[in-house]
Chains A and B, each alone.
Chain A
Amino acid sequence: MKKHLWLLFLCLYSLPVFAGDANELFYALRTKVLSVKDYTADVKMKIDVTYMRIPELKGTLYFKSPDKLRLERHGGLSVFPKKNINLTLVNLIPAGQVMVLDMGYATRAGKKERILKVVPEDDQSNIVLSKIWVDEENMLALRTETTTRNDGTVIMDLEFGNYIPYALPDKVTILMDVKDYKLPKGMAMDYISENEVESKAKASKGTKGSIQITYLKYAVNTGLSDNIFKLKGRNEEEN
């Protein structure tokens, strides 16, 4: 694996780099992002995966740095992608020592953004490579494209508005790879309707899924207790 990484580094070094600047920019960005120790936010979550039909979920999202996250739906179910594809920026920005590559500027939707490629030096990290589109003026990550070891590539688009000082987005769209899902026929005993035909057609088209989270209101750094993250649904409680 290490051998491959070195190869990758070799390739990356051959590109034009502004290592000093980029490093500063990344660490500044990471410091800003990490300045939020916890938050509570009212959210609306929309999951768009071909085989999933989930209505818009409303609830309260609790976050505590570095990786505690919980969606409270007041008796309802919460649906998250598996833990290692996290929904917050913190988890998509590599931690620890990293190697930052400056990929220059690009214009997206009329906005000039600086692109950084970040490679964690810890080769145990689930993140292999992270590409970050940065709004230098506001010191915000507007997009990340993270290649993970086990969970494919996760793209996160962020829109900011009211919580720029905390680098907390108003809206996040996460694009990720999803695998097919199938339940043995005998177990489901489906009622076959035209929905089935439709979904089969859709399923064969692609295996990308997206999750859109709209943050309505944040309460930042209120010193959330760890207990909040232990309160889970009835099933988990019993475990």
Chain B
Amino acid sequence: MIQLLRIELYKIFKRPRTYISFGIMTAITFVIQLAMLTDGKTFIGFAMQGINEQFDIQGNILNGYLVTYIILQSLLVQIPLLVALVAGDSLTGEANLGTLRLLLTKPITRPKLVLIKFFSSFIYTVLLIIWLAIVALFFSLLLFGKGDMINLKSETFIMIMQNDVMWRYAAAFGYAVLAMTTIASLALLLSAFADNSIGPIISTMGIVVVLTILSNLQIPLFNHIKPYLFTTHTIGWKGFFDEPVPYAAIARSAMVLILYTLGFLVTTIFYFNRKDIKS
């Protein structure tokens, strides 16, 4: 299994396309950092309007920690796409290349192949998030400095001491890996159903976008289904920036994501195991 995983990772990281994701993420991060450098104060001023009416908050508000948070929030839409680019292509990509039939004429079981694809997508996701942590957190701290972090929720203003932030980011990035792994497993599932690469990537994004909208719509009709949508829980990383940290809610959200991931994975294995390979 380890050997096969190594081969899979070798294939992924030998492919130029893989690095496009890292490049895109770096570019988006830098664009946001640049925007914050030039226009961050207006943005903060706008966001802080409600608070500034009554309180005077002085100091380096727009610091690296806050900018990282803004980047993470903005990348919510993009990261699933980057994850889907690899995970959604993992089975259909082989089918497109014509290598899937060659792979499956080798003494390797299909469930094993799916698991290898899943774990390699997982490792890719981990590396993507680590990279995000480096470019977003490291460069934001470098450009904007340190400071206490403010977190503006719709009805709450939270301030976190700067020496209390890093562990939250570690936890948040860890949670982001879990959330993105759920997306990866969805993309993998769609990849098992499809015969071309674009289909699963677009479908994954479509599902994520539609469900995210449903998760955020303030319509009572959807309130009953919201807790069951994985997109409601993919933003659970934000919980680590709440005070007090809602551990129970985060644990529940994490559990939902784990169940979805396992559900997608088992369905993929089941379906792919019975699929006729005609590509």
Contact = CB atoms under 8 A, between A and B. Distances in A.
A60 to B, nearest CB: 13
Contacts, number: 151
B276 interface: no
Interface string B232-254: 10011111001110101110010
Contacts of A81: 54-56
A176 to B, nearest CB: 9
Contact of B59 (A52, A55, A78): A78
A182 B155 contact: yes
A52 B160 CA distance: 11
A199 B153 CA distance: 11
Interface in A56-89: 70-71, 73, 75-83
A149 interface: no
B55 A233 contact: no
A226 interface: no
A190 B239 CA distance: 9
A181 B246 contact: no
A181 B50 contact: yes
Nearest to A234: B60
A196 interface: yes
Nearest to B53: A179
A194 B60 contact: no
Nearest to B249: A193
B153 A188 contact: yes
Given A79-B56, A191-B242, A234-B63, 6 more contacts: A53-B158, A83-B56, A179-B53, A181-B50, A188-B152, A188-B153
6 contacts: A55-B243, A192-B232, A193-B239, A194-B248, A232-B58, A233-B147
Interface of A: 51-55, 70-71, 73, 75-83, 178-179, 181-185, 187-196, 199-200, 203, 232-236, 238-239
